[in-house]
Structure 1
Amino acid sequence: MSDHLKPIGGNAYRGKEPIEGVFVDSVGKHLVVGQRDQSKRSGASIFLGKVGERVPSTEYFDYNVWLDAEFPHVVFVAGKRGSGKSYDLGIVLEGLSATDGNFSMKPSGFSSVLFDLQSQFWALGGTLNGQLAADVAQVDKLAKWNVKGAVKPPVLFLPVGSNPITGTERPMTVPPSSLELEDWLSLLGTKRFEAMGQAIATCRQVAVRTKPNFEIADLVAILQRPQQYQDLATFQQSTFDAVLWRLMALDETGLFKGGQSVLDDILTPDRCSIVLMRDLPEDLKAVTVAVLMRQIERAMSRHHQQRKVAARTGAPEDRSKPSRIWVMIDEAHLVCPAGDKTSANEVIVDYVKRGRDAGLSLVLATQQPSAIDASAISQVDVTILHKLTIDADIAAATARLPAPLPSSTRVREKDISDPKLLVRELAPGEALISDSEASRTFVLRLRPRVSPHGGGEPML
């Protein structure tokens, strides 16, 4: 059905060098970024938009641009507020959750999870209303592009203690026993070799030994009776008190409780999960991301190992988990900062390193590229870059483009060779897209979404 996508036409950027190294279907006028096997069209891909520039020797203007979803990717999306950064995440999520239509080619068994730090993706999968002012332009663009189809609504998870948005959210807690030492250090605002860090490390060891599925109340009880545990004999009472106050404050949030983990729900094949996190303090956001990403990586690693063993031995294959999972983080600089590290930094970096063998893709989106941990985006193979205006952010973002920028681009009757000027020229809905296998970065015009975007301007 993808052949029925309409050409858009209009003004185009003009690049100096040809676009090479990406899979091109000249008959259907499709171009696939991220595809590593050039012998045939990817069996799983997501329609992103159209080539927005004319190039010498080969004419790809208005070709349909698809993102390969079969190979595990690390995708970096950057842009100032209002440029379309979060909209891109919605496009990818729609492609992964499509039930029919001409904007996705996806086999069954793919799943996705979005850590929605601003809680703006609750409307994903809903129906556009042509009578609603916020939807009118989107409905018109869909008709112009001839993008058609439907999206399976996501499962919304709401951390306990947060304010509901739709009333359909599932409550979510984080079992204290699932937290690693780094998570506790982050929550308590201490370091491994400080007195409080040593105290919580030792207390946690005692709890694991005596009650593996411990609650915060069990940690409190241990610290209130330290004389019963030889491991705690060397600590000062003032250290115990400082840890106790923080633990009791965490317990009052209601977030850290034992019970059923949401992991099995998230790892349901063909499911999109969205964790609505706006109401969580920054440190709790980071820990929630760290815990769930760590669990996803470990579970998917075991799953793919079992599949490989089954293929070799003829044993029954476990089909209860997705073959691929895409994890996305909006405003990623808040949980994976370049400065003071959170417990999520190391987990995200580890996820990136191990992802290929476990079918793990990652999409990190930010409006402050200079504020995100460089290690987390060191393995990026696809970048989508929208308009930026701060020099430090432009420098950080263009440094992470996996393909070179064009030496010169003609934009609205002027030739631009300075990357800073080119990035500043991008209009809403336009982006530079860069693929590690492509000969150069090129201009992309993003498609309209088929479901409402919860972000944007406030209603008057």
Structure 2
Amino acid sequence: MVVIGRDADETGETVDLGHFRAADGSHGARVALDCEFPHAGLVVGKRGYGKSYTLGVVAEGLARARGVAPVVVDPLGVFTTLASGTVPATVVSEPRVSPGTLPPRAWCGLLGLAPDSAAGAVLWQVASGAETLAAMRRELEDLECSAVARRTVRNHLALAESWDVFAPAGLDAAALATGEVTVLDLAGAPTTAMNAVVRAVATALYEARVVGSVARLPWLLCDEAHVFFDGVAAPALRTLLTRGRQPGVSLLAATQRPGALPDVAVSQADLLVAHRLTDRGDLAALDRARPAYAAESLTAGLPTRPGDVTVVDDTAEAVHAVRVRERDTPHGGASPRAGAVETRRRGAGNLK
């Protein structure tokens, strides 16, 4: 078995990814991904070619590995099937985080108030040091400010409360670093609310490893990553990309729109798993940040069949053609089919 992502003389925990893919499509030797060491990874591919499926395969493997703590950000509700019983997994429905985990600037961005505006300055003050929304409201009523600014901030805090993603005792790193896959089911939440959860979770995992309060190495698997790199979660994700290796925090981001990601998300990836892509902007994004040894493979050589991937391993400076294995748990991201719907009997329900 070949392990992608580490030097040939290194050993340790791995994730079963699949098989090498021969030119005729046949299977070659088995292929695994390294999870003994931290990584910054990117999974890309157009809709319907297996991007989320591959993320699920990695999540399954991480759940069975020792010493890691996989956390899956699930904005579409397609990873809840990981908790089917065949792998150790927990689904957190309607995950909540403590308001105090978000810095004041993040609150301004979250609620769309410019920090240098009157209302933004008030929000900045009430968010400084407050651990709950109730504490922020109390601070607001005691603060000397204009009636207009007070009313604006009050209304925006009410909006944040309506998202139902904040709680005094929200998710912390210890609750996430159990060794099971923790699926954060964010389906149906507003984009801004999802960003708040991801910002808080990514920050908590990073800071916990910096101070050594959790022993396992966290892996944050983030589907639809372009949604979060374009919101208030972006600074925390950038931190994992650029500084996560030293404390041992990995980020595996998946997206069908690599062109919508900042260049750092591609350039910092030491593992790149590429499904089929056809959009010129997305191909150009990979081309801009590609390593020299992978130039042809990331443009003209991308696979065309669902489940086939091109894997760029920057550790070994190598490119591999791989067929992703079948999942052990059901895949919740498959597209529904009209033909699977039971057809009504002819004439039933006809208007008269």
Partner of 1:422: 301
Q: TM-score, structure 1 length as denominator?
A: 0.68
Deviation, 1:427, is 0.8
1:165-314 aligned at under 5 Å gives the runs 172-205=95-128, 208=129, 212-213=130-131, 215-226=132-143, 232=144, 235-268=145-178, 270-303=179-212
Partner of 2:62: 96
For residues 158 and 393 of structure 1, what CA distance do their matches in structure 2 show?
32
For residues 260 and 347 of structure 1, what CA distance do their matches in structure 2 show?
18
For residues 72 and 282 of structure 1, what CA distance do their matches in structure 2 show?
28
Spell out, residue by residue over 1:85-105, the C-alpha distance to the aligned partner (whole angstroms, 9 max, x if none).
00111111111113xxxxxxx
Partner of 2:68: 110
Q: Is the 8 A contact 1:46 1:68 kept in 2?
A: yes
Partner of 2:49: 83
Structure 1 SS opposite 2:17:
strand
For residues 60 and 92 of structure 2, what CA distance do their matches in structure 1 show?
18
Deviation, 1:303, is 1.1
Bigger Cα displacement from structure 2, 244-253 vs 257-266: 257-266
Could you say if the C-alpha distance between residues 336 and 434 of structure 1 is closer, same or farther in structure 2, counting changes exceeding 3 Å? same
Partner of 2:272: 383
Tell me which amino acid in the other structure corresponds to 2:239.
D
Larger radius of gyration: 1
Alignment coverage as a number of residue pairs: 337
For residues 439 and 301 of structure 1, what CA distance do their matches in structure 2 show?
29
Spell out, residue by residue over 1:43-77, the C-alpha distance to the aligned partner (whole angstroms, 9 max, x if none).
1111111111359xxxx970211111111111110
| Residue 397, structure 1, aligned to residue 314, structure 2 | no
Q: Is the 8 A contact 1:403 1:438 kept in 2?
A: no
The unaligned stretches of length 5 or more in structure 1 are 1-29, 99-105, 128-149, 160-171, 227-231, 305-320, 410-418
Partner of 2:248: 359
Which of 65, 69, 79 is the matching residue for 1:121? Answer: 79
Could you say if the C-alpha distance between residues 437 and 224 of structure 1 is closer, same or farther in structure 2, counting changes exceeding 3 Å? closer
Tell me which amino acid in the other structure corresponds to 2:225.
A
Partner of 1:32: 3
Q: Is the 8 A contact 2:105 2:124 kept in 1?
A: no
Deviation, 1:373, is 2.2
Tell me which amino acid in the other structure corresponds to 1:75.
G
Could you say if the C-alpha distance between residues 371 and 329 of structure 1 is closer, same or farther in structure 2, counting changes exceeding 3 Å? same
Q: Is the 8 A contact 1:186 1:283 kept in 2?
A: no
The unaligned stretches of length 5 or more in structure 2 are 342-352
Tell me which amino acid in the other structure corresponds to 1:178.
T
Spell out, residue by residue over 1:268-325, the C-alpha distance to the aligned partner (whole angstroms, 9 max, x if none).
2x22101001111011111110011101100111117xxxxxxxxxxxxxxxx34322
Deviation, 1:261, is 3.4
Bigger Cα displacement from structure 2, 390-399 vs 359-368: 390-399
Q: TM-score, structure 2 length as denominator?
A: 0.88
Q: Is the 8 A contact 1:430 1:444 kept in 2?
A: yes
Q: Matched residues, percent identical?
A: 27
Superposition RMSD in Å: 2.3
For residues 401 and 449 of structure 1, what CA distance do their matches in structure 2 show?
29
Deviation, 1:260, is 5.0
